[in-house]
Amino acid sequence: MQQYKFLANLKQDLPAGIVVFLLALPLCLGIALASGAPLFSGLIAGIIGGLVIGALSGSHTSVSGPAAGLTAIVLVAISQLGSFETFLFAVVIGGAIQLILGFAHAGTIANYIPSSVIKGMLSAIGIIIIMKQIPHALGYDKDAEGDLAFLEASGSNTFQSLWESITVYIHPGATLIGLISIGILLLWEKPFVKDRIKFVPGALVAVLVSIGLNEIFRSTGSSLTIKGDHLVTIPVAENAASFFTQFSFPDFSQFMNTKVWMTGLTIAIVASIETLLCIEAVDKLDPDRRVSPPNRELKAQGIGNIISGLVGGLPITSVIVRSSANVNAGAASKTSAILHGSLLLLCAALIPQLLNLIPLSVLAAILILTGYKLAKVSVFKAMWKNGKYQFWPFIITVLAVVFTDLLTGVMIGLGAAVFAILRGNMKNSYFFHKEEYHEGDLITIKLSQEVSFLNKAAIKLTMDHLPENSKVIFYASDTAYIDFDVLESIKEFTKEKAPGMGIKVTLKGFKDKYKFRESDFVHVDHPDPQKPDNHLKLGTVTLN
């Protein structure tokens, strides 16, 4: 394993870490608020996600912290378990289960997620970020920061909040700062600025300008002044002693409580799935195309959740919003994730009053541009050009994630992808067209190296369309694996259907373990499949 060097890419990672810190700050607080947990528990999860998981993870660009996908689970669990301390014990249990899953190599499940679904998830999250952050950019902060679900805790939904923010409530000061911030961020993307001021991220400049403008509004008594819930709100401790009182500890006396164990199992499963989806997606965004080891990631997440539960933090996952912002900010290694966790800790402990001067609208502006980069029109055009079997799972995933939530949407997208695979196999080029062959023809069907259950429908269709009184040879010499259902279909055809249609079948190359007895079937003279006899019409159908 190549040795990790913390300072090797500091020029790229420091600006990226600052950007992710600025975004993570309100997201950690918003997710804690939406979860019905103490606000400081969200910050604890963000700090551990950066410092602990960032250090242990094998991913170069993913960033971990409290996840919006777990808010509903946390909210219900705290209510059912009776106390936040009991819930923390469930978080510890969830982390331990994740650690076990990592050692059991359960992370390999990520290899089975189609790229069309991953790209659809990324585009959907980009769309959701834009729709969710426009109200915050306009000063309408009814919905908590970090909420990605279509149905909101207030009883409204994403579209209603977006419409209300535009037609009912617009805060002039927040809107002005949001627009100025977008202008600064776009300006920082231009080469003549970006190349000259490499070490100062545009997001930091936008935040400092927004604080300065709002302080001018405040000092002049302007109606544009942003205050109250429209600003970042971090719990402020009066001294070091009161700072440490914000940490909570799990109630281990609930060890025999089955509800605690079920909650821990639920957290482990959902957090693991979200993490695997995230690292798979972020690897596709990484310009260097580096691959994150999924089992190591599960181990890191497990350790992180154990520690988070022990000191009063929310459950942690790898988070796509922060991770994609990290990639867009130019992060080169996991140093950026560690730095963002360090900044969360230092600022929450030392300068919470300064952080509470940041308008939410400037952070919304940063997220809006992050969302745009995830959901560019070019992505949709590229998926369309890839063909319908790629495009339809992609677009179904997009719509499903937007109108439900991350996990539900991805499950629907996976279902669409499986259907597309099955449909593709049904329509594959090896589908047998009866009119192309005539009675008495010799037809060879050569099976490929791997024949899975996904090929079953197409193979049955091929056999059902074979012309009567023809001669058929099944070759399996190069086949390493044949699914049981496929074997049963071939046996049924050769023993029952073929004799009734006058078809003579020969099986060649089938392994002894398949329990075919070639003496059971009528043999025909046949050529080498690689060297067909020119005097015979040979229809070769390759099943793959």
* Boundary (domain end) residue, out of 400, 424, 455: 400
CA atoms within 13 Å, Cβ hemisphere of 2: 8
450-451 and 442-447: which strand pairing? unpaired
- Are 471 and 383 in a shared domain? no
* Boundary (domain end) residue, out of 375, 400, 425: 400
CATH number at residue 507: 3.30.750
Domain hosting residue 363, numbered range: 12-400
429 falls within a domain: no
pLDDT digits (tens, 9 = 90+) for 472-514: 888 887 777 787 878 888 888 888 888 888 888 888 888 777 7
2 falls within a domain: no
- Are 66 and 198 in a shared domain? yes
- Are 371 and 470 in a shared domain? no
**CA–CA distance from 150 to each of 147, 399, 473 (Å)?**
9, 11, 55
Of 37 and 481, the one with more pLDDT = 37
- Are 111 and 241 in a shared domain? yes
Nearest to 365 by CA among 172, 184, 166, 190: 184
- Are 392 and 488 in a shared domain? no
- Are 384 and 446 in a shared domain? no
What six digits make up the tokens of 475? 């070759």
Cα 524 to chain centroid, rounded = 54
275 falls within a domain: yes
**CA–CA distance from 447 to each of 128, 129, 207, 455, 507 (Å)?**
45, 47, 62, 10, 11
What is the average per-residue pLDDT within 268-288?
Answer: 93
* Boundary (domain end) residue, out of 400, 426, 449: 400
Of 522 and 182, the one with more pLDDT = 182
pLDDT digits (tens, 9 = 90+) for 410-458: 999 999 988 887 776 555 444 444 445 555 667 888 887 777 777 777 7
What is the distance between the alpha carbons of residues 209 and 190, in angstroms, rounded to a whole number?
19
What is the distance between the alpha carbons of residues 524 and 534, in angstroms, rounded to a whole number?
16
158 falls within a domain: yes
What six digits make up the tokens of 288? 């260097």
Nearest to 309 by CA among 383, 252, 266, 262: 252
- For residue 474, the cross-strand partners are 445, 507
Are the CB atoms for 101 and 298 separated by under 8 Å? Answer: yes
> Per the structure, how many domains does the chain have?
2
- Are 151 and 91 in a shared domain? yes
Average pLDDT of the chain? Answer: 86
95 falls within a domain: yes
- Are 374 and 476 in a shared domain? no
pLDDT digits (tens, 9 = 90+) for 350-407: 889 999 999 999 999 999 999 999 999 999 999 999 888 889 999 999 999 999 888 8
128 falls within a domain: yes
- Are 221 and 306 in a shared domain? yes
410 falls within a domain: no
Helix (H) or strand (E) holding 538: strand 538-543
Helices (H), 228-359: 240-244, 258-285, 294-311, 320-328, 335-350, 352-355
Are the CB atoms for 397 and 118 separated by under 8 Å? Answer: no
**CA–CA distance from 215 to each of 136, 138, 176, 199, 276 (Å)?**
19, 18, 14, 26, 43
Are the CB atoms for 251 and 72 separated by under 8 Å? Answer: no
DSSP string over 96-149 = HHHHHHHHTTGGGGGGGS-HHHHHHHHHHHHHHHHHHHHHHHTT---SPTT---
Name residue, tokens 């056999």.
463
- Are 472 and 394 in a shared domain? no
39 falls within a domain: yes
pLDDT digits (tens, 9 = 90+) for 163-210: 888 888 899 999 999 999 999 999 998 888 877 777 788 999 999 999
Name residue, tokens 């929310």.
314
